[in-house]
Amino acid sequence: MRQPIKQVGIMGGTFDPIHCGHLLAAEQAREQADLDEVWFMPTHVPPHKKRESLTLAHHRLQMAQLAVSDHEVFRVTDVEFEREGPSYTYETMVQLIRQFPDCRFSFIMGGDMVKILPKWYQYQELIHMVRFIGLARPGTELDRESSEDVTFVEMPVWDISSTMIREKAAAGKSIRYLVPDAVERYIKENRIYETFG
């Protein structure tokens, strides 16, 4: 007998580090868009980010795993670490759709990503392959009228970013409640952001 179709939300991100804003966005998307699971997908080589040094892939992956470990239907996938070069979402989704024929995929993103979505690699193909779920994020005006390919869900707008956490950690300031406890411990034990300015 065929398996029932599973609705899967992909929460893609650099996750350097994963923070509570990512988790809140994923949870609100899960509930409001009726997702069965959310897969957190750390990006290997972010296509649009021009940062000199990213934290090593295995640390970003491990932090994501620690962050979701107590959620019943949150998972982590390392699928993008299998490829070299820019981690284009189109290429990833082609692979996931082939690999998991019983899943229907949505891609979850904050307002900053909604804004540049039409510039994504193979965007015209991608919109026929996945549903896009968008959430508001401070600093980005969302033009919901002209983002017709995106389904919007609501979340309490929260001005938190990985940049803020890297900066606080580097300055020896508290990141408690901005990241899950286990992620905070991992960052401290491995002294991950001590050299970031």
Ligand X SMILES: Nc1ncnc2c1ncn2[C@@H]1O[C@H](COP(=O)(O)OP(=O)(O)OP(=O)(O)O)[C@@H](O)[C@H]1O
The contact set with ligand NCN (CB under 6 A) reads 12-14, 41, 43, 46-49, 87-90, 113, 120-121
Phi, psi angles (nearest 5°) of residue 38? -125, 130
State which of residues 27, 112, 149, 167 lies at the interface with ligand X (CB under 6 A). 112
CB of 24 to ligand X, least distance (A): 7
**Nearest approach, Cβ of 17 to ligand X (angstroms)?**
9
- By the rule CB under 6 A, 137 interacts with ligand X: yes
Nearest distance from residue 1's CB to ligand NCN, in Å?
A: 34
CA–CA separation, 29 and 12 (whole Å): 13
- Which of 92, 110, 180, 184 forms a contact with ligand X (CB under 6 A)? 110
Long-range contacts (CB closer than 8 Å, 24 or more residues apart) made by 162-169: 162/14, 162/15, 162/16, 162/17, 162/18, 162/19, 165/17, 165/19, 165/193, 166/16, 166/17, 166/193, 166/196, 167/196, 167/197, 169/193, 169/194, 169/196
List residues binding ligand X (CB under 6 A): 13-16, 21-22, 25, 109-110, 112-113, 135, 137, 158, 160-163
